[in-house]
Amino acid sequence: MEELTLAHDGSLQLNGTKITDVISCLSHKVVLEDAVTLRSFFSLFSAYPDVLRLNPFLQGACDDAAACKDSGCTTEEFTHLELYRQLEMTGAPGTPEMNIHTLVRGINTQGRHELRFFRLESLLDMPFTLGQMRHVLFGDRTSELYCNTTFSLFEVIEGIAWELSFQGGSLTCSLRR
């Protein structure tokens, strides 16, 4: 699998060369340079506007991000943001199902936390990492298994778009998996 590198400024490089056609690279594995933040992804969306067509929530999120200040958009609630996968096996007894979710969460010493109640102005400059696959069997979260995994550019963009689609949710609304 070819490897794309996302730089802090939102540019993508394939084998050391800046790419121009982002659509042809959607299936490539993504690696993040040091100092990549959520703002880096908005810079990517700006540099490669074709990706905005991948999800109907991206343009609105880009408009919201553009209205934020140019730096200092962080929160002390998290040390960083992490995109990870969660594999859940459910349905027992009965017909088992396997579901894979790509999620972005805020990370701190107490664990992973949803971002829906945090505005972009407190998230844009948070460090961003690609995490592991978390395997949960039949809802038993006490015996989780963590595995290394890779993410394609499409999976990263879609995971971020999915998470941002919940921005501004009401504290009384709590949809859970």
- Would you state the structure tokens that stand for residue 151, as one six-digit string? 């993410």
- Would you state the structure tokens that stand for residue 94, as one six-digit string? 């009965």
Q: Whose CA is closest to 51, among 30, 80, 82, 74?
A: 30
pTM: 0.86
Q: What is the chain's pLDDT, residue by residue, as a tens digit (177 residues)?
A: 689 999 999 999 998 899 999 999 999 999 999 999 999 999 999 999 999 999 998 999 999 999 999 999 999 999 999 999 988 877 777 888 888 989 999 999 998 899 988 999 999 999 999 999 988 766 666 667 889 999 999 999 999 999 988 875 444 444 444
Q: Would you say the C-alpha torsion 40, 46, 48, 49 has a positive or negative sign? A: positive
Q: Whose CA is closest to 134, among 172, 92, 168, 100?
A: 100
